[in-house]
Structure 1
């Protein structure tokens, strides 16, 4: 039995499987803009974490 995270958010593979490549690219562009122009340190950190999370999703191995 697979253990769920405490936050209840989907795992990387579950969410990545539901996104198209165009959606992934759009989200990456949005996060890049937010990381470069974010107002607070916490906001920039959140964008950066999302970028790190989305990076492997571009790889066709995940598709």
Structure 2
């Protein structure tokens, strides 16, 4: 299993995350073109595990969650 280099990640907080220590998800879409992944993490644990779906899988997930 390869660990992706996330040093260039520009983390963005989900618009559905609230600022009251609730469910906070961050993603870094800027890596999609160069690395083929969209890293996703829990903003409350930025050094914790990171999911690395493909851009297509991330798009499908966001569309599903929006429904």
Q: Output the TM-score relative to the length of structure 2.
A: 0.26
- Pick 1 or 2: higher relative contact order, CA cutoff 8 A, min separation 6: 1
Structure whose residues are more often helix by fraction: 1
